[in-house]
Structure 1
Amino acid sequence: MAVAEESHFGRAAARLGIAQPPLSQRIRRLERELGVRLFERTSRRVTITEAGTLLLGEARDLLARSESFLATARRIRDGETGLLRAALSPDLSGETVAALLAAFRERHAGLELELHELTTAEQLAGFAAHDLDVGLIHHPCDVTGLELGPVLRRELGVLLPRSAPPAALPEVPLAALAGHDLILFPRAHAPAVYDDLLTTCARHGYTPPAVRHGQGASFVRGLVLSSGAVAPAPRDTRLAPGGGRHDPTDGAGGGKDALVWRPLAGAPLAWRHSVAWPKGRGDAAVGAFADAAAHALRGTAEATAEPAARPLHLRPASEFWL
Structure 2
Amino acid sequence: MAVAEESHFGRAAARLGMAQPPLSQRIQRLERHLGVRLFERTSRQVALTEPGALLLAEAREVLARSEAFMATARRIRDGETGVLRAALPPDLSGETVAALLAGFSGAGASGLELELHELSTAQQLERFAAHELDVGLIHHPCDVSGLELGPVLRRELGVLLPRGAAAAGLDEVPLASLTGHDLILFPRAGAPAVYDDLLTTCARNGYTPPAVRHALGSSFVRGLVLSTEAVAFGPRDTHGHAKEGAEAAADVDTEKGVVWRPLTGAPLALRHSVAWPAGRGDAAVSAFAEAATHALRTTAGATPDQPARPLHLRPASEYWL
1:109 alignment partner in structure 2? 110
Partner of 2:142 in structure 1?
A: 141
Q: Displacement of 1:97 after TM fit?
A: 0.8
Give the equivalent residue in structure 1 for 2:124.
123
Which residue number in structure 2 is paired with residue 257 of structure 1? Answer: 256
1:89 matched to 2:89: yes
Paired residues of 2:160 and 2:258 also in contact (CA < 8 A): yes
Corresponding position: 1:301 with 2:296: no
Contact 2:135 2:274 in 1 (8 A): yes
Instruction: Quote the Cα distance in structure 2 between the aligned partners of 1:148 and 1:254.
Output: 36
TM-score when normalising by structure 1: 0.78
Q: 1:284 aligned to 2:273?
A: no
Deviation of residue 282 (structure 1)?
Answer: 0.9
Compute the RMSD of aligned alpha carbons.
Answer: 3.7
> Does 201-210 or 26-35 show the bigger shift?
26-35
Describe the shift of the 1:182–1:320 C-alpha distance in structure 2 as closer, same or farther (beyond 3 A).
Answer: farther
Aligned equivalents of 1:131, 1:203: Cα separation in 2: 39
C-alpha contact 1:96 1:300 (8 A) present in aligned 2: yes
Structure 2 residues without counterparts, runs of 5 or longer: 32-37
1:194 maps to 195
Contact 1:182 1:230 in 2 (8 A): yes
Matches within 5 A, 1:1-322: 22=18, 27=23, 36=39, 63-107=63-107, 108-238=109-239, 254=253, 257-308=256-307, 315=314, 317=316
Identity of aligned residues (%): 69
Higher mean C-alpha deviation, range 280-289 or range 54-63 = 54-63
Secondary structure of the corresponding residue to residue 180 of structure 1: coil
Q: Deviations over 1:263-303 (max 9, x none)?
A: 00111111111111111111111111111111211221111
Name the SS for the 1:91 alignment partner. Answer: coil
One-letter identity of the residue aligned with 1:67 = E
Partners of 2:198 and 2:58 lie apart in 1 by 40
1:88 is displaced (CA, Å) by: 0.3
Note the C-alpha offset of 1:79. Answer: 3.8
Partner SS for 1:237: helix
In the alignment, is the contact (CA less than 8 A) between 1:192 and 1:314 conserved in 2?
no
| Contact 2:85–2:132, Cα closer than 8 Å, also in 1 | yes
Q: What is the Cα deviation at residue 317 of structure 1?
A: 2.9
- Displacement of 1:170: 0.5
Judge conservation of contact 1:68–1:284 (CA < 8 Å) in 2.
Answer: yes
* Structure 1 residues 170 and 222: CA distance shift in structure 2, 3 A: same
Amino acid at match of 1:69: F
Q: How many residues align?
A: 302
User: Contact 2:182 / 2:213 at 8 angstroms: preserved in 1?
Assistant: yes
Deviation at 1:316, TM superposition (A): 5.8
Q: Deviations over 1:89-131 (max 9, x none)?
A: 0001111111111111122111110000000011111111111
Unaligned runs of 5+ in 1: 42-47, 240-244
Q: Give 3-state SS (helix, strand or coil) of 1:86's partner.
A: strand
TM-score (norm 2): 0.79
Shift of 1:70: 0.7
CA contact (8 A) 2:88 2:117 kept: yes
